């Protein structure tokens, strides 16, 4: 799912679950692990979330046009029992990131996210979209208002659009975590935390105290939680 993906390689994505595991990691930044608890698909979301515009050369990216169909495939695959998301993102395209987050949130299969390095801006909705979220103590979550680059039309409609987009993000985060919309917006507009900007930077335990992340934990905690979800799901009839 990183910048190594090429359009010509997309045909191999259809057989990514059956190809050499090491090659799958190289090509797609993902891996399937078969355990006694069930089959876990590990997907990394790193670097910049690339949307409708191509990121700068040399930038590590997660391409949403690859992630969206893959998530749909994982939801329907009989070979996948749960999905583990490893996050270390600097943000990126807001619409693309929110689209990925909405798809993750709509999955019926067990899902767990772990914030490792950072979850900047649109990375926050990605972190809370899973059924259970973890953050390592050193993880950093940066919360700030919506920004846009390039030509901006200086008209009231533009500012209204910014506000509506920001409201969508606030509503998503508060709807999929324990933080209130008012508190999240307060953190988003905080003035004293960032040297040349408005917003907040929260580290692992702070994000948990604020109710954004469910618990502080690393890989073993995330996998343990995912295995419990898988066992609970297998113990009840599937309904769709």
Angle at 155 between CA 153 and CA 156, to 5 degrees: 140
Contacts of 165 (CB under 8 A, 6+ apart): 94, 146
Of the candidates 66, 120, 144, 176, the residue annotated as catalytic is: 144
Would residue 121 show up in a list of annotated catalytic residues for this protein? yes
What is the DSSP pairing of strand 215-216 with strand 111-120? unpaired
Structure tokens at 145: 């208002």
Name the nearest CA neighbour of 104 among 135, 70, 144: 70
List 40's β-bridge partners, or say none. 33, 82
Is 37 in the active site? no
Which of 190, 152, 174, 165 is closest to 99 using CA atoms?
165
- Catalytic annotation, pick one of 119, 121, 174, 177: 121
Judge contact between 172 and 143, C-beta under 8 A: no
Query: Catalytic residues, which ones?
Result: 121, 144
């Amino acid at each position: 799912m990183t910048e190594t993906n090429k359009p010509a390689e997309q045909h191999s994505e259809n057989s990514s679950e059956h190809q050499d595991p090491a090659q799958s990691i190289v090509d797609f930044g993902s891996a399937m692990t078969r355990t006694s608890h069930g089959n876990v698909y590990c997907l990394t979301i790193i670097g910049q979330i690339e949307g409708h515009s191509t990121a700068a050369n040399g930038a590590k990216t997660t391409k949403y046009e690859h992630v969206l169909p893959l998530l749909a495939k994982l939801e329907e695959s009989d070979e996948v029992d749960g999905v583990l998301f490893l996050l270390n993102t600097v943000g990126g395209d807001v619409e693309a990131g929110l689209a990925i987050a909405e798809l993750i949130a709509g999955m019926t299969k067990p899902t767990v996210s772990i914030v490792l390095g950072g979850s900047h801006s649109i990375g926050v909705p990605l972190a809370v979209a899973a059924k259970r979220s973890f953050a390592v103590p050193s993880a950093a979550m940066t919360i700030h208002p919506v920004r846009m680059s390039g030509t901006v039309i200086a008209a009231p409609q533009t500012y209204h659009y910014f506000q509506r987009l920001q409201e969508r993000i606030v509503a998503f985060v508060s709807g999929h975590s324990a933080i209130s919309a008012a508190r999240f917006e307060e953190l988003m507009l905080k003035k004293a935390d960032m040297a040349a900007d408005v917003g907040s930077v929260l580290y692992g335990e702070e994000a948990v105290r604020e109710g954004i992340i469910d618990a502080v934990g690393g890989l073993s905690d995330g996998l343990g939680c995912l295995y419990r979800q898988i066992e609970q799901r297998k113990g009840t009839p599937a309904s769709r």
